[in-house]
Amino acid sequence: MTFQRFVATLLEVERASSRIAMVKMLAEAFRELPPEEVPLAVLLLQGRVAPEFEGLEFGVAEKEAAKALALALGRDEAETVQAVKEKGDIGAYALEVLPRRAGGLSLRHVYGELRAIAEDAGPGSQARKRERLSRLVAEASPEEAAVILRTVTGRLRLGVGDATVLEALALAFLGDRAKKPLLERAYNLTSDLAYVARLALEGEEALRQVKLEVGKPVRMMLAERLPGPEQIMEKLGPHFAEHKYDGERVQVHFDGERFWVYSRRLENITHQYPDLLEALREVQHGPFILEAEAVVTDPVTGEMRPFQNVLNRKVKHLTPELLEKYPIKGFVFELLYADGEVLIERPYSERRERLERWFRPHERLELSTKRFVETTEELVQFFDASIEAGCEGLVCKKPDGDYEAGKRGFKWVKYKRGIAGKLSDTLDLVIVGAWLGRGRRAGTYGSLLAAAYNPDEDRFETLTKVGSGFSDEDLNEVLPRRLDPYRRGERHPRVWSLLEPDVWFEPVQVIEVEAQEITLSPNHTCAFGAVQEGRGLALRFPRFVRYRDDKSPEEATTTKEVVEMYKNQWA
Ligand code: AMP
């Protein structure tokens, strides 16, 4: 396929009026491609040349890309850099200044060049990257160059969710959108869309055969909520409850030599945990995949410290001082693979038994504390004990539940402390729009329009306006810096809203919000009609708690969860 055709598809998709239309356009484009180019197109759609977990980044800052553009145009470097800065979008600037010409690049060639740019590293790589980029831009049409330049600077934002790509692949190669679950399963096990695309081309059997692989992150299983201990006992019966540690969830892979650590968002965060990996290397020798909660402990007392402490490790160069100041302990709670055996389809009780036999203690490693509970009383007692031990509560696990990759279900239920007069849990919502402020807030955002995620429709449905809980710094600096790059003139096709805010955003930024109550509302679209005809759900007295950069928009609270919370709030 020509790159021009690919670029035309991107433009069409951006202007699509609905998600179904997006799926159809993408499927049509996928079908036109020669099979070996489908995985490349899937990657380029995400603005990447390798799956995110591989951590292969372009390493081209906007200034460098502007210099490459200057070189391609034969213009002055400093002037071009300045002009790009003023325009604010290198793609838009390229569209203005590049001569009108037909491109004629092939998709394969562009992918190959972009990949070479990403892979180039070490001394002199900046200059080589710049030259390669400039040659590519010099051959491209203005539209092609805009996409190339936005891609290398990480600013290609199409807002095509993974679920939409999977659905388009199902329609293109299995002939039916309804076959998406087959692709979803493969994706949940490997987190690799390009690989799933290759399997879809081979057919249904190949998709059914797929297994997890050491090195490729498994999409994490998540926990549902219930309002209290009685409801948990009712739903799960006698079960295993585990302490809920307040740290960062990590999935650790080991192939016998090399380690990988993945975050909940499946980013490669191996470099953040050298001490944890050293501990594992000392006590484990064969390949495995485990999950643990990484908790920072007090260097003197050894007591657990709250989640925020983990953030201190999110720096480029983790120094020995930082490691000493914020020592880590891994509380291991899952074993997905060990001794050559995939364990995720086994029941929890069997996986846990395997984990206990396999586990070797170390001062930096501990098994999650668990207890078999048979009555509500025992559950409450164990909950109190967990709080006393410095945990957030419990995760209750169904003895016969398998590990459901990428799913949130009632095989795991979290039990956190409720605050009197408030919903017992907070919600993670995606900002999709905003109203401009008045009075004291003039010139900034007055309130934000926040939405829950509906995975069945792959869309964001509005739940609330949030205006309180923000500091002056949030309003004047942090919010504009975080949100302005995502402003758009009209509603994003994946957002469903009845309200018309002053500005719209791409659904990117996730925030945690607390509230007092969930009510029915004719103005919000969250779970519209699910509880009552003509009504959606809304939050009463919402309040911003914190930014949740560790969550992708698709990991926001789902509309189904909001319905559950609505039904459970008086229980
Ligand atoms: P939440 O983030 O509120 O949906 O709660 C689920 C999270 O609790 C998981 O993603 C883990 O990061 C964390 N967690 C802490 N301890 C455990 C445990 N013993 N089992 C499972 N998850 C745990």
Check which CATH number belongs to the domain holding 322 and give it. Answer: 3.30.470.30
Q: Are 501 and 445 in contact (CB under 8 A)?
A: no
Share of the chain above pLDDT 70, in %: 98
How far apart are alpha carbons 413 and 561 in whole angstroms?
A: 12
| 96 labeled binding residue | no
Question: Is the per-residue pLDDT at 145 higher than 50?
Answer: yes
Task: Tell me how many domains the chain contains.
Answer: 2
Residue nearest to atom 8 of ligand 1 (CA): 244
Q: What is the mean pLDDT of residues 364-385?
A: 96
Task: Identify whether 125 is part of a domain.
Answer: no
Do 379 and 495 lie in a common domain?
Answer: no
> Residue 420's pLDDT is what?
42
Find out whether 198 is annotated in a ligand binding site.
no
Contacts of 523 (CB under 8 A, 6+ apart): 498, 499, 536, 538
Asked if the model's pLDDT at residue 282 lies above 50, the reply is yes
**Tokens for 416?**
């956190």
**For position 472, what pLDDT does the model report?**
85
Residue 92 belongs to some domain of the structure: no
| CA terminus-to-terminus distance, the chain | 57
544 within some domain? yes
CB 189 within 8 A of CB 210: yes
Residue 87 CB-density burial (10 A; 0-12 exposed, 13-18 middle, 19+ buried): middle
* 395 CA → ligand 1 middle, Å: 7
- The pLDDT of residue 567 is above 90: no
Q: Whose CA is nearest to atom 17 of ligand 1?
A: 244
Stretch 323-348: mean pLDDT, rounded?
96
Whether pLDDT at 440 is above 90: no
Q: Identify any residues that bridge with 259 across adjacent strands, giving them in sequence order.
A: 254
* Cβ within 8 Å of residue 28, ≥6 positions away: 172
Ligand 1 interacting residues, C-beta cut-off 6 A? 222-223, 242-245, 249, 293, 333, 368, 395, 414
Pocket test for ligand 1, best of 395, 397, 513, 545 (most atoms within 8 A of CB): 395
Ligand 1 atom nearest to 425, measured from its CA: 3
Q: Is residue 109 part of a domain?
A: no
> Nearest-CA neighbor of 521 among 475, 481, 461?
461
Please check whether residues 474 and 377 belong to one and the same domain. no
355 and 230, same domain (yes or no): yes
- Report CA(326)–ligand 1 centroid distance (Å): 21
Last residue of a domain, one of 347, 381, 416: 416
Classify 172 as helix, strand or coil: helix
pLDDT band (50, 70, 90) for residue 571: low
Q: Looking at residue 570, what is its pLDDT?
A: 60
Q: How confident is the model at residue 307 (pLDDT cuts 50, 70, 90)?
A: confident
Same domain, 386 and 437: no
Tell me, in angstroms, the distance from the centre of ligand 1 to residue 246's CA. 8
Looking at the structure, do residues 463 and 401 belong to the same domain, yes or no? no
Catalytic annotation on 63?
A: no
pLDDT of residue 88 exceeding 90: no
CATH number of the CATH domain containing 477: 2.40.50.140
Q: 293 a known binding residue?
A: yes
Looking at the chain, the whole-number percentage of residues with pLDDT higher than 90 is 77
**Residue 554 is assigned to a ligand binding site:** no
pLDDT in tens, 406-416: 999 999 999 98
Residues 326 and 384 in one domain: yes
If pLDDT is split at 50, 70 and 90, which confidence band does 419 have?
very low
In-domain check, residue 42 = no
Structural contact between residues 387 and 244, judged by C-beta atoms closer than 8 angstroms: no
- Which of 414, 427, 453, 549 maximizes ligand 1 atoms within 8 Å of its Cβ, making it the mutation to test the pocket? 414
Domain assignment of residue 525, yes or no = yes
Identified catalytic residue from 129, 179, 180, 244: 244
CA 406 from centre of chain: 11
519 shares its domain with 466: yes
Residue numbers of the domain that contains 553: 427-568
Residue among 239, 240, 243, 245 whose CB has most ligand 1 atoms within 8 A, to mutate: 245
- The residue from 374, 392, 416 where one domain ends is 416
Residue at 180 is within a domain: no
Q: Are residues 478 and 335 in the same domain?
A: no
- Determine the Cα–Cα distance for residues 278 and 247; give it in Å rounded to an integer: 19
Per-chain mean pLDDT for the chain? 93
Q: Which residues of 431-451 are buried (b: 16+ CB within 10 A; e: fewer)?
A: bbbbbebeeebeebbbbbbbb
Q: Which residue has the tokens 């890309």?
A: 65
Query: Same structural domain for residues 290 and 363?
Result: yes
Q: State whether 353 and 476 are in the same domain.
A: no
| Contact status, residue 252 vs residue 332, Cβ threshold 8 Å | no
Instruction: With a cut of 90, say whether residue 342 has pLDDT above it.
Output: yes
Same-domain pairing of 383 and 483: no
Q: Choose the final residue of a domain: 394, 416, 438.
A: 416
Ranking 97-106, 206-215, 351-360 by mean pLDDT, the lowest is 97-106
| Banded pLDDT at 540 (limits 50, 70, 90) | confident
242 assigned ligand-binding residue:
yes
Whether 540 is covered by a domain: the verdict is yes
C-beta separation of 94 from 137 below 8 A: yes
Same domain as 326, residue 242: yes
| Contact status, residue 443 vs residue 548, Cβ threshold 8 Å | no
CA of 464 to the centre of ligand 1 (A): 26
